[in-house]
Amino acid sequence: MNAVNPFDLVIFGGTGDLTARKLIPALYHRHCAGQLPEQARIITLGRRDLSRDDYLASISEKSHAQISEKYFDAEQWQAFSSRIEYRKLDANSDDDFNNLADYLQGTQDRIRIFYLSTSPDLFAGICQRLARSDLAHENSRVVLEKPLGRDLESADAINACVESVFDEKRIYRIDHYLGKEAVQNLMALRFGNSIFEPLWSHGKIRDVQITLAEDIGVEGRGEFYDATGTLRDMLQNHLMQLLCIVAMEPPISMDADNVRDEKLKVIRSLEAFTPETVKVNAVRGQYQAGIVNDEKVPAYRDEPGISEDSCTETFIALKARINNWRWSGVPFYLRTGKRMHEQVSEVVINFYSLPHAIYPASEQGESVNRLDIRLQPQESVELHLMAKQAGDENVLKPVKLDLDLTGSGERHLDAYERLLMDVVRGNQTLFVRRDELNAAWEWVEPIMKTWETSEKPPQFYPAGTPGPHAARDLIVRDGRHWIDDD
Ligand code: BG6
């Protein structure tokens, strides 16, 4: 793996959860892989007045917990942590930005990355102060975490402010799902082979299901979550980006704009929801107390930081349609939620069954032709087919062709490792462009508004289950079923 160019990575939100759980472990792995040049520095910023030693002690403890024993090496960690500096900064203080500018003085020739892992309300102010303190030089880039805004209007206002400081080529709107290994594999499968393309359309595909199920709850992020909800946290970004990768036309190259042009077309072809269709084709749920992985867990409304009559959704299921030549008539069933029965993210492509059966029916019923792309917990790609059982009778049974993605046993990169290195390399292919983001907001807004003005609360589901019954009905009434509901 080639070393990247020298950089200064400045993280706003340096004491936050994302920095400890994802960014620092990702950078540690890149350090161990020899990808970080000697001069690369990580400058974390936070409001708290901490000494460097105190910060390192705290970040080490939290980050270690995310690094598997197998890959943790105390000496390497020691060397890696010498790259980290902590500085106190109040995002509303010009003086603090001027101090930061003094600190970064003399490294203008390096790539400078400002990673904004704060509330999106602060993005515009931070960028303006970066400009005022002369920190946003031409070698600098800004990374914006999701969710970017609360709706189209707020996202647009933030983007306009950020763009007054950084042009679009220097803005990296991150959606870590795009950096996942299995998503790269899905693209490779589709655009690196000729055999799937003729099958990849309405004549052959009966339906597509995308599930991002989590067994975890709000994990100490109660206040954030209650103000955000699953629609803004998962649907508007992760789920929609996966949908784009499944449904997009082959781009003319992997160049960032070519890929993003095709994703944008998918979003623009999505059938718009109306208040009436939201009632029929969208389900929102909220978990109640229940049992997850043999442990009793409280209801969402009883979690710390959640208001007792909260109507924030922790689950969504939708039936979406893409109105274009390739996908006309193919339902896309999307589902995501917290405190569900399992922790699994997968894309399932269901092909039509046979037009006419000449073999006796198998014990399992109808013939199965299905492609499963699993993102987690274990990445895999499985093609399900019917094959003849050994013996003299012509009885078929479902078998699966399992693509070994673990290869030589090499460690898979975490999404943030890939994406952070892409920012340093200046590769925007796996980042979201402003028009894409706007189109995604535009599509989810009718759903959001219908729910916000509805007097009906979300449908409750016991923690540890696949969501409210209505999510099952949504698909069963089309004569189909969720993949885990066999
Ligand atoms: C984040 C959401 O973007 O993605 C979290 O804010 C969610 O609520 C997480 O748990 C899921 O990511 P992953 O990679 O663990 O599937």
Helices (H) and strands (E) in the chain, counts: 15, 17
Nearest Cα to 126, choosing from 100, 152, 147?
A: 100
Q: Hey, which of 66, 176, 225, 314 would you mutate to test ligand 1's pocket, going by the most ligand atoms within 8 Å of its Cβ?
A: 176
**Whole-angstrom Cα distance, residue 408 to residue 404?**
10
HSE at residue 416, side-chain half, CA atoms within 13 A, is 17
pLDDT higher at 107 or 430: 430
**Whole-angstrom Cα distance, residue 57 to residue 64?**
11
7-145 and 178-413+434-485, same CATH topology: no
pLDDT of residue 358: 84
Q: Provide the Cα torsion 306, 307, 308, 309; round to 10°.
A: -120
**Whole-angstrom Cα distance, residue 486 to residue 333?**
16
CA-nearest residue for atom 10, ligand 1, is: 214
Query: How far is ligand 1, taken at its centre, from the CA of residue 51, in Å?
Result: 30
Q: Hey, which of 178, 219, 234 would you mutate to test ligand 1's pocket, going by the most ligand atoms within 8 Å of its Cβ?
A: 234
Number of Cβ within 10 Å of residue 250's Cβ equals 12
Residue 290 has pLDDT above 60, yes or no: yes
Judged by phi (left if over 0) then psi (alpha if -120 to 50, else beta), residue 240 lies in alpha
Query: How far is ligand 1, taken at its centre, from the CA of residue 176, in Å?
Result: 8
Query: How far is ligand 1, taken at its centre, from the CA of residue 19, in Å?
Result: 14
Which among 29, 31, 176, 238 is annotated as catalytic? 238
Is the distance from CB of 317 to CB of 340 less than 8 angstroms? no
214 lines ligand 1 (CB under 6 A): yes
Is the distance from CB of 209 to CB of 400 less than 8 angstroms? no
**Whole-angstrom Cα distance, residue 283 to residue 471?**
6
**Whole-angstrom Cα distance, residue 46 to residue 477?**
51
Looking at 55-69, 225-239, 275-289, 403-417, which range is the least confident one?
Answer: 403-417
Would you place residue 407 in the very low, low, confident or very high pLDDT band (cuts 50, 70, 90)? low
Classify 421 as helix, strand or coil: helix
Enter the tokens of residue 424: 């340093």
Question: How would CATH label the architecture of 178-413+434-485?
Answer: 2-Layer Sandwich (3.30)
Is the distance from CB of 377 to CB of 212 less than 8 angstroms? no
CA-nearest residue for atom 8, ligand 1, is: 233
Q: Hey, which of 238, 303, 345, 432 would you mutate to test ligand 1's pocket, going by the most ligand atoms within 8 Å of its Cβ?
A: 238
Residue 365 has pLDDT above 70, yes or no: no
CA-nearest residue for atom 15, ligand 1, is: 214
Nearest Cα to 303, choosing from 418, 226, 381?
A: 226
185-209 pLDDT, tens digit each? 999 999 999 999 999 999 999 999 9
User: Among the atoms of ligand 1, which is closest to the Cα of residue 214?
Assistant: 10
Query: How far is ligand 1, taken at its centre, from the CA of residue 163, in Å?
Result: 27
CA-nearest residue for atom 5, ligand 1, is: 233
**Whole-angstrom Cα distance, residue 344 to residue 374?**
8
379 lines ligand 1 (CB under 6 A): no
**Whole-angstrom Cα distance, residue 122 to residue 116?**
9
Domain boundaries, the chain: 7-145, 178-413+434-485
Query: How far is ligand 1, taken at its centre, from the CA of residue 214, in Å?
Result: 9
Q: DSSP for 133-186?
A: TT---TTEEEEEPSS-SSSHHHHHHHHHHHHTTS-GGGEEE--GGGGSHHHHHH
Query: How far is ligand 1, taken at its centre, from the CA of residue 193, in Å?
Result: 30
pLDDT of residue 391: 81
The predicted model gives 7-29 an average pLDDT of 97
Is 356 annotated as catalytic? no
Which residues contact residue 20 at a Cβ distance below 8 angstroms, ignoring those fewer than 6 apart? 58, 59, 62, 63, 66
Which residues contact residue 94 at a Cβ distance below 8 angstroms, ignoring those fewer than 6 apart? 129, 132, 133
The predicted model gives 312-323 an average pLDDT of 98
CATH of domain 7-145: 3.40.50.720
345 lines ligand 1 (CB under 6 A): yes
The predicted model gives 307-330 an average pLDDT of 97
Taking the CA atoms of 59, 217, 233 and 175 in sequence, report the sign of the dihedral they define: positive
Looking at 97-111, 248-262, 288-302, which range is the least confident one?
Answer: 97-111
**Whole-angstrom Cα distance, residue 268 to residue 149?**
20
**Whole-angstrom Cα distance, residue 359 to residue 82?**
67
233 lines ligand 1 (CB under 6 A): yes
State the maximum Cα–Cα separation within the chain, in Å, rounded to a whole number. 83
pLDDT of residue 27: 98
Residues in the chain: 486
Q: Provide the Cα torsion 233, 324, 347, 432; round to 10°.
A: -40
Identify any residues that bridge with 290 across adjacent strands, giving them in sequence order.
297
CA-nearest residue for atom 2, ligand 1, is: 233
Query: Which pTM does this prediction carry?
Result: 0.95
